[in-house]
């Protein structure tokens, strides 16, 4: 076993610069500068103030690391959950082949934008939306119905009163249109019957004149 170089030295403090034991008074004064201990015959001095601040700094760094680490894990988990929700919603909404239908829809929206590029700002915004929506309804009808349902649910959650009023107006308009359509059909049927009746009378009069 290796022999320690300082194992025969006495564990006493020496006066700096002199190889003699330190006087008691000077030793007390030295203690004010920190504690000391012997490690294999060597005097190791430590400062309580530095140790205290170092300990506090390490504790502060450890606490901050733990806090930021937990926050990072929370945010990462939240982002993963949101991303999974987005993927699930997209999978539930898109019910038609994306390609080449998406190209047709973008082409229709771009065409609408080009046609009104010199008009007012509201027109330049509304027309591409209308042309793109019409193309979506034509090329991706199932997806369009799902989007309409999602938007209807979102409107009911965000603005329930507006949603109810809109539904009421839409129902009234549809009901009014149905009534107008039925009246038009009844009028057309009546007019057709009158025309047929008049035609029959004319034919009958013609044949009677021939006789």
The pLDDT tens digits of the residues spanning 193-205 come to 777 777 777 777 7
Query: How much is the average pLDDT of 76-99?
Result: 88
In which element (H, E) is residue 176 found? helix 160-210
pLDDT value at residue 75: 93
Query: How much is the average pLDDT of 10-19?
Result: 51
Who wins on pLDDT, 177 or 56? 56
Query: How much is the average pLDDT of 128-155?
Result: 86
Task: Report in angstroms the alpha-carbon separations of 84 from 77, 90, 149.
Answer: 11, 10, 21
pLDDT value at residue 5: 52
pLDDT tens digit sequence for 57-75 = 999 999 999 999 999 999 9
Tokens of 101: 């239908």
Tokens of 38: 């012997």
What is the pLDDT of the chain when averaged over all its residues? Answer: 77
pLDDT value at residue 23: 61
pLDDT value at residue 148: 85
Q: Taking the model in full, what pTM does it have? A: 0.47
Model confidence at 81: pLDDT above 90: yes
pLDDT tens digit sequence for 91-141 = 888 888 888 888 988 998 898 888 888 888 888 888 888 888 888 888 888
Going by pLDDT thresholds of 50, 70 and 90, the confidence category of residue 76 is: very high
Query: How much is the average pLDDT of 6-10?
Result: 51
Tokens of 26: 């000077």
Task: Round to whole Å and give the CA distance between 134 and 137.
Answer: 5
């Amino acid at each position: 076993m290796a022999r320690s170089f300082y194992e025969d030295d006495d564990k006493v403090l020496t006066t700096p610069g002199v190889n003699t034991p330190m006087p008691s008074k000077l030793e007390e004064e030295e203690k004010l500068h920190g504690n000391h201990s012997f490690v294999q015959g060597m005097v190791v001095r430590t400062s309580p103030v530095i140790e205290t601040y170092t300990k506090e700094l390490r504790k502060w760094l450890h606490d901050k690391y733990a806090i930021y680490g937990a926050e990072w894990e929370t945010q990462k988990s939240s982002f993963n959950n949101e991303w999974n929700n987005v993927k699930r919603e997209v999978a539930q909404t898109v019910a038609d082949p994306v390609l080449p239908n998406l190209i047709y829809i973008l082409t229709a929206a771009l065409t609408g934008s080009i046609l009104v590029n010199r008009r007012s700002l509201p027109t330049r915004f509304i027309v591409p939306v209308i042309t793109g929506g019409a193309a979506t309804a034509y090329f991706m009808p199932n997806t369009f119905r799902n989007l309409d349902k999602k938007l209807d649910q979102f409107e009911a959650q965000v603005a329930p009163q507006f949603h109810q009023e809109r539904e009421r107006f839409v129902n009234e308009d549809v009901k009014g249109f149905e009534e107008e359509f039925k009246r038009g059909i009844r009028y057309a049927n009546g007019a057709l019957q009158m025309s047929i009746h008049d035609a029959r009378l004319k034919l009958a009069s013609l044949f009677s004149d021939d006789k």
